[in-house]
Structure 1
Amino acid sequence: MNAAITIMQATNWKKYSFEEWCRQLGAWINGDNETMVRVVKTMPTKRITQQQREKLMAMYMNDVELKDRLCVRRKGTCCQLDSNEARAIHKLFLDIQAIDDEVVEEWISVIWSHYVMGNSVRDIAKSNDTYVSQIQQDIKCGLAFIKSRYPHFLIEKFLKKTETEFT
């Protein structure tokens, strides 16, 4: 008897590095307001409640002066995901978010903010009242955690650079 193939199994995870999957998810979310509402309600965060998330989302949607960082970045990411791929990477984040560990939640929140939402490390550090080096360390720890849990992902940050890549 054949078992049904899930979105997670059907996705070609070798298509992008983990960081690029996150950037692609950010571009996919940014292109659809309905999707944005659903994803913001479930995005990794350890500090706010569901009610606070909904209030922030309402403020975001009502603010005509607000420019989304994903729209104004110099180098934007052109979304190349189909809906199933986007659901798969989002499901991965939801699965990790279900882990009840405050430190892991913080790492994943920083990864989400930096790679998916497109916030700079400096902006994240400023909003969390911490140092840039701490945010960079949280990103590395979070990526290492993801690599240990999902070894099929290629992580750009852990690739060794050759001299030819610098010239």
Structure 2
Amino acid sequence: MNVVIEKKHILQAVDWSRFSFEEWCRQLGAWINGDNETMVRIVKTMPTKRITQKQREQLLAMYMNDENLKDRLCVRRKGTCCELDSNEARAIQRLFLDIQLIEDEILQEWISSVWSHHVLGNSLRDIAASCEIPVNQVRQDLKCGLAFIKCRYSHFSFETFNKTT
């Protein structure tokens, strides 16, 4: 019961109008990248394509032991300066975790694309190469994932769906 109350308080305490959804995701990525302990907790719970806990831990161990690995969040052309506090970061992560509980394989692929592109900062081309699918399919998955999130959490604004003239 306390967990449910705490979850509601965290989600309600955040001023969601501060950023667009995509910017919230980029902010979460910057927050994750700034603290290794945080990264350990987040990587274990991030949307994935159905891998086991042991596989997640092996991936995390490889990530943390590779001295030559440069995180894309560190080397992106356009850096994101983290402006989130821990409660805001936990709130946006909570949204992803809630969606992850939905048992729909296609939806999970869409959300995985959103996570990979907007939170981790991977390019569409990199995502397509890692999943062995065309870039246009990744672009479509992103739009579908964002459309699902927009329907479920209508209080967010979305850069993707803003009309430009």
TM-score range, shorter chain: over 0.9
| RMSD (CA atoms) | 1.1
SS of the equivalent of 1:113 reads: helix
2:23 is matched with 20
Q: 1:157: Cα distance to partner?
A: 0.5
2:112 corresponds to 1:109: yes
Instruction: Tell me which amino acid in the other structure corresponds to 2:56.
Output: R
Distance in 2, Cα, partners of 1:17 & 1:88: 14
What TM-score, normalized to structure 2? 0.94
Query: Residues 116-155 of structure 1 correspond to what in structure 2 (within 5 A)?
Result: 116-155=119-158
Unaligned runs of 5+ in 1: 163-167
CA shift at 1:141, angstroms?
A: 0.2
Q: Does 1:30 align with 2:69?
A: no
Rg comparison, structure with higher value:
1
Number of paired residues?
A: 160
Runs ≥4 residues deviating over 3 A: none
Q: Which amino acid aligns with 2:142?
A: I
> Deviation of residue 82 (structure 1)?
0.7
In structure 2, the partner of 1:165 is none
The AA in structure 2 aligned to 1:36 is: M
SS of aligned partner of 2:160: helix
Q: 2:82 aligns with which of 79, 85, 93?
A: 79
Q: Distance in 2 between matches of 1:16 and 1:77?
A: 13
Shift of 1:47: 3.4
Distance, in Å, in 1 between the alignment partners of 2:66 and 2:142 is: 30
* Percent of paired sites with the same residue: 72
